[in-house]
Structure 1
Amino acid sequence: MTGPHTEVVVLDIEGTTGSLTYVRDVLFPYARRELAGWFTRHAQESRVRQVAEDVRTELDRPDLDTDGVVAALAAWSDADVKAAPLKTVQGWIWAEGYASGALHGHVYPEVPAALRAWKAAGVRVVIYSSGSAAAQLDWFRHTAYGDLSPLLDGYFDLRSAGSKTDPASYRTLAGAVGAHPGRLLFLSDAAAELDAAVQAGWHAVGVRREGDPRGPAVPRHRTVATLDPLLPGPSSASRPQETPASPESPQSHEVSPP
């Protein structure tokens, strides 16, 4: 159960509230397929020109042309590099996919009720993921359970908070939400991220979904298989799960290794 002094719960997405498989098998390939065409269509927009400059800066290649920028983004995508310019562009591409109905954000069946339980208890819930804040918002706005974004209080990414394996990022995030580190709880499937949060004075709990080939426990951390054991109020046995509005069941996406 969330401790009586917990003010803010900070949630990871992949492997924690949503499936790794959906991200890796659906979202990433979708953005990769659309990347070149999307960038060409939007190349003259100020936001896209700024991303192009960010790529040149990151590569120390001020002379890189648009084709070179797209090639760099594609290479980062193929290598699963968590580069902020790539995450930003992926988020924009996904936004169009969500708007068209080609994509939806995956969440596990107990997540909507968990978010409602925390909100009812006065606990703020924010998201901290390597995907852009805009992509996070779109993810929770377009789930099979409807729009869950009203249940969330903020979104943090690599630009706004920093690397998820750096304790300084968690100190930054604590300041941003205005909470003492000891009143923050972080949930993630990655031991290195949980380690960093603990080093910053946070509480942290690992999440490993059933069937995860990495095993049932996150090394060095208390681990749960669902969010239910961490919730205030009724037990998981008496807490109803919601039914997805779409015909595709979120349970169809099993967790895969990173």
Structure 2
Amino acid sequence: MIKAIVTDIEGTTSAIDFVHKTLFPYAAAKLPDFVRANANTPAVKAVLRETAQIANLDTSHTEALIQQLLDWIAEDKKITPLKTIQGLIWEDGYRQGDYQAHMYQDAVTKLKEWHQQGIPLYVYSSGSIHAQKLFFEFSEAGNLLPLFSGHFDTTTGPKKEAASYQAIQQALNIPATDILFLSDIVEELDAASAAGFQTAWIQRDQSLIQKPPHQCLESFSNLDLS
């Protein structure tokens, strides 16, 4: 019996293109001026300090730290300080109405249905928890944030490691076999399965499927929890 559902965002509930063609370029364009203007705020100071530690840079070299963050964006790195600063920049964009987060309608319908059925819903994404909340609050389908009971990000651990899902299971205090994880990335599903989770591979291009290693569905509409 499924007692909780944990879902990825990018490529699962939402199109990858929105993140790669809208959010990432927006953050890259705004990041230098945003950091310079907010370098003395606690949130940005913490980002710069952590970036300096990871990249072995001097915390006083703001321009070098800005370039390091831009390099990480170009390399699509899943690094916590980058995800944090992106979330802060994206908040400005959402609140200014520069864009709304894309959602697949089948995902919206099923998430609402499961919520109404009393199934707790959680998000596990490489984007920061702050960015996740903004994504669902400012979605094309309206404010979906109330549907979710909690969020997990890279502070829990890498998404392709079983230990991360073990940590999620401990946080939820639900048997792993009663938790369903949804993702478009097979390696993430492998890790979740290794931790005892049930899994569903959301692969919207069925032509890419040969021998699916997990339950494989082209949309949320095809997912029957029974």
TM > 0.5 between the two?
yes
- Aligned with 2:64 (options 68, 73, 76): 68
**Alpha-carbon shift at residue 59 of structure 1 (Å):** 1.5
Trace 1:50-199 onto structure 2 (pairs within 5 A): 50-62=46-58, 65-159=61-155, 161-199=156-194
**Unpaired stretches in structure 2, ≥5 consecutive residues:** none
Trace 1:235-246 onto structure 2 (pairs within 5 A): none
In 1, the alpha carbon distance for the partners of 2:59 and 2:46 equals: 14
**Unpaired stretches in structure 1, ≥5 consecutive residues:** 234-258
Q: Using the TM superposition, name which of 131-140 and 103-112 deviates more.
A: 103-112
Trace 1:214-253 onto structure 2 (pairs within 5 A): 215-216=208-209, 219-231=212-224
Alignment check: 8 A CA contact 1:206 1:217 kept: no
Q: Secondary structure at the match of 1:110?
A: helix
RMSD of the TM alignment (CA)? 1.6
TM-score (ref. length: structure 1):
0.84
Alignment check: 8 A CA contact 2:2 2:225 kept: no
Alignment check: 8 A CA contact 1:185 1:204 kept: yes
Which residue in 1 is equivalent to 2:197? 202
Structure having the higher helix fraction is 2
In 2, the alpha carbon distance for the partners of 1:218 and 1:121 equals: 33
In 1, the alpha carbon distance for the partners of 2:225 and 2:198 equals: 16
- Aligned with 1:15 (options 11, 18, 26): 11
In 1, the alpha carbon distance for the partners of 2:36 and 2:97 equals: 22
**Alpha-carbon shift at residue 60 of structure 1 (Å):** 2.5
Which residue in 2 is equivalent to 1:31? 27
Q: Secondary structure at the match of 2:102?
A: coil
**Alpha-carbon shift at residue 62 of structure 1 (Å):** 4.0
What count of residue pairs does the alignment treat as equivalent? 226
Q: Using the TM superposition, name which of 54-63 and 33-42 deviates more.
A: 54-63
In 2, the alpha carbon distance for the partners of 1:7 and 1:80 equals: 33
Percent identity between matched residues is 33
Shift >6 Å, 4+ stretches? none
In 2, the alpha carbon distance for the partners of 1:124 and 1:99 equals: 27
In 2, the alpha carbon distance for the partners of 1:24 and 1:44 equals: 29
Q: Secondary structure at the match of 1:176?
A: helix
Instruction: Give the counterpart letter for 1:9 in structure 2.
Output: I
Q: Secondary structure at the match of 2:10?
A: coil
What are the superposed Cα offsets for residues 206-229 of structure 1, whole Å, 9 maximum, x if unpaired?
Answer: 00114x77x146841121011122
Q: Using the TM superposition, name which of 135-144 and 53-62 deviates more.
A: 53-62
In 2, the alpha carbon distance for the partners of 1:31 and 1:143 equals: 18
Distance 1:48 1:110, change over 3 A: same
In 1, the alpha carbon distance for the partners of 2:110 and 2:216 equals: 17
